[in-house]
Amino acid sequence: MNIIIAENEQRFDQIAAWKIIGQMLSKPESLIGLSTGQTTMNMHRIVSEIYKMNPFDTSKVQVFNVDELINLPRTYSGSCYAMIKSQLCDSLNIPEEHFIMPPTFSEDFELECKKFDQALEAAGGIDLQMLGIGWNGHIGINQPGTPFESTTWVSPMDPIFEEKVRRETKVDENYYLGGLTLGIKNIMQARKVVLIAKGRQKAEIIKKALQGPVTVDIPASVLQLHPNCEVLLDTEAASML
């Protein structure tokens, strides 16, 4: 694992943004997996700003998000579809058909997961997967305990995140909310993975994920086994290493 430590948040966001731009420039027909959350928001904004100042060819690039909330409409501002579309696809003029996402409602999510995997494969396989990390070490929505052999599936959400979503959408507890997520196996098959984390609140989990044992209890620890994984941290997230 190649670990990069940015000296401040601004530098962190710039380096992260250039991971995406660099991929798009070096292989214009790349398939790039994105990730939503606080950590990636600024990175997406900077990618958009750089594109606006200096447009490059985005007509062939294909993107998707590593996960999506199910049983909520795509129009919900917290859906990954809505976030990636507004944060990146619209500003980069990525054609709608090059934004590969699963539906949020379905009678058969098992089938939708298979179709999603097939669509990513048909698009050439994942060139770059950008990943955030949850407070409990989750990647995508794969919570602690998820087998490393898992392929795209519907996972329960991180309980803290689920509570936030329920508050925002006013969906009551009897109604199942989950997340369709790339499995650990799919993530490990990406040609390149970049894990990014900033802030002191991520320091402990980063230490466990990068320097602790590789275990299903800390899903991100599997990345220690990835042949081409970079980790970008700010000094706070790196403070316990």
Site string for ligand GLP, 76-115 (x = CB under 6 A): ----------------------------------------
CB of 132 to ligand GLP, least distance (A): 3
Exposed e or buried b per residue across 193-229, where buried means at least 16 C-beta atoms within 10 angstroms of its C-beta: bbbbbbeeebbebbebbbeeeeebebbbbbbeebeeb
Question: Which residue among 23, 35, 42, 142 contacts ligand GLP (CB under 6 A)?
Answer: 35
Would the CA dihedral through 184, 186, 191, 195 be positive or negative?
negative
User: Which pair of structure tokens corresponds to residue 14?
Assistant: 């710039």
Exposed e or buried b per residue across 110-135, where buried means at least 16 C-beta atoms within 10 angstroms of its C-beta: eebbeebbeebeebeebbbbbbbbbe
Among 53-61, 134-142, 208-216, 219-227, which window interacts with ligand GLP (CB under 6 A)? 134-142
Asked if residue 141 binds ligand GLP (CB under 6 A), the reply is yes
Among 1-9, 32-40, 111-119, 145-153, which window interacts with ligand GLP (CB under 6 A)? 32-40
Asked if residue 62 binds ligand GLP (CB under 6 A), the reply is no
Question: Which residue among 23, 30, 36, 169 contacts ligand GLP (CB under 6 A)?
Answer: 36
**How many Å apart are CA 237 and CA 97, to the nearest integer?**
36
Question: Which residue among 134, 137, 183, 219 contacts ligand GLP (CB under 6 A)?
Answer: 134
Question: Which residue among 112, 158, 234, 236 contacts ligand GLP (CB under 6 A)?
Answer: 158
CB of 196 to ligand GLP, least distance (A): 8
Among 21-29, 85-93, 132-140, 170-178, which window interacts with ligand GLP (CB under 6 A)? 132-140
CB of 160 to ligand GLP, least distance (A): 9
Sequence letter at residue 122:
A
Asked if residue 67 binds ligand GLP (CB under 6 A), the reply is yes
Residue with tokens 């396989």: 125
CB of 122 to ligand GLP, least distance (A): 23
Nearby residues of 223 by Cβ (< 8 Å), 6 or more positions away: 1, 131, 139, 193, 195, 209, 229, 231
**How many Å apart are CA 192 and CA 8, to the nearest integer?**
24
Interface residue list for ligand GLP (CB under 6 A): 35-39, 66-67, 132-134, 140-141, 158, 161
